Amino acid sequence: MPEISIRNEKESDCTRISEVITLAFKDDPHSDGREAEIVELMREDSALIISLVAEVDNKIVGHIAFSKVTINDEFIDWYGLAPVSIAPKYQNQGVGSQLIEEGLKRLKKLNAKGCVLLGEPGYYQRFGFEADEKLILPDVPAEYFQALSFNSSIPDGIVKYHQAFGE
Ligand SMILES: CC(C)(COP(=O)(O)OP(=O)(O)OC[C@H]1O[C@@H](n2cnc3c(N)ncnc32)[C@H](O)[C@@H]1OP(=O)(O)O)[C@@H](O)C(=O)NCCC(=O)NCCS
């Protein structure tokens, strides 16, 4: 496994971050190709609450973003993990896991109550995420929309991500 270091993004990373995101989603059949743009729009709106990069040999090979979500139109200290992107050559080497673990640790330090994401249950269940019928992201298959509560309580309601996701 390569030696991976994780740190906050800095301004000079932005071009490389967009490149890594684009590469990561290039062959994903579920992607609409907008992930890099979504991150750029959230950055412009100061909505990237946590934005981390993973480096191997001083090169950025992965990125993860967390932003606020609302539940029934209210922010109640829940966040969305999206997107997480690993450059294809570096996938399946633990980079995604380290970014997710570190991101969740930092969310807890912000007194977050929980985190949601849309993704493959087979990957995210290892971090404790699971679908819950009370928490709904409209128009997606329910089993792919997963939540992780930091206080063992899952709220009821409709989740909305930052507007960049819907543009
Ligand atoms: C999905 C992704 C973030 C995982 O990160 P990674 O660094 O490649 O994965 P890790 O090394 O942490 O974990 C490897 C494990 O995840 C599994 N895995 C990787 N991608 C997976 C996927 N899309 N679905 C299910 N399992 C997956 C591997 O089979 C491996 O399983 P094992 O531990 O049982 O052997 C990364 O592969 C990626 O960027 N993919 C393209 C973009 C994407 O799909 N992003 C997520 C949607 S927001």
CA distances from 48 to 26, 30, 83, 136, 143 (A): 22, 23, 11, 22, 26
Nearest atom within ligand 1 for CA of residue 82: 48
The β-bridge partners of 65 are: 51
Q: What is the pTM of this model?
A: 0.97
Residue 22 in contact with ligand 1 by CB distance below 6 A: no
Phi-psi region of 50 (alpha: psi -120 to 50; beta: other; left: phi over 0): beta
pLDDT the model gives residue 63: 99
Residue 146 in contact with ligand 1 by CB distance below 6 A: no
Q: Cβ(47)–Cβ(67) under 8 Å?
A: yes
Each residue's pLDDT tens digit, 28-86: 998 999 999 999 999 999 999 999 999 999 999 999 999 999 999 999 999 999 999 99
> What superfamily does domain 5-166 belong to in CATH?
Gcn5-related N-acetyltransferase (GNAT) (3.40.630.30)
What tokens does 128 get? 């404790």
* Cis status, amide bond into 83, omega within 30 of 0: yes
pLDDT the model gives residue 152: 86
- Is the predicted pLDDT of residue 1 greater than 90, yes or no? no
pLDDT the model gives residue 167: 67
- Is the predicted pLDDT of residue 2 greater than 90, yes or no? no
Nearest atom within ligand 1 for CA of residue 118: 48
**Residue 91 CA, ligand 1 centroid: distance in Å:** 7
**Residue 74 CA, ligand 1 centroid: distance in Å:** 31
Which is higher by pLDDT, 1 or 139?
A: 139
What tokens does 32 get? 């609409």
Each residue's pLDDT tens digit, 101-159: 999 999 999 999 999 999 999 999 999 999 999 999 999 999 999 999 999 899 999 99
Each residue's pLDDT tens digit, 10-30: 999 999 999 999 999 999 998
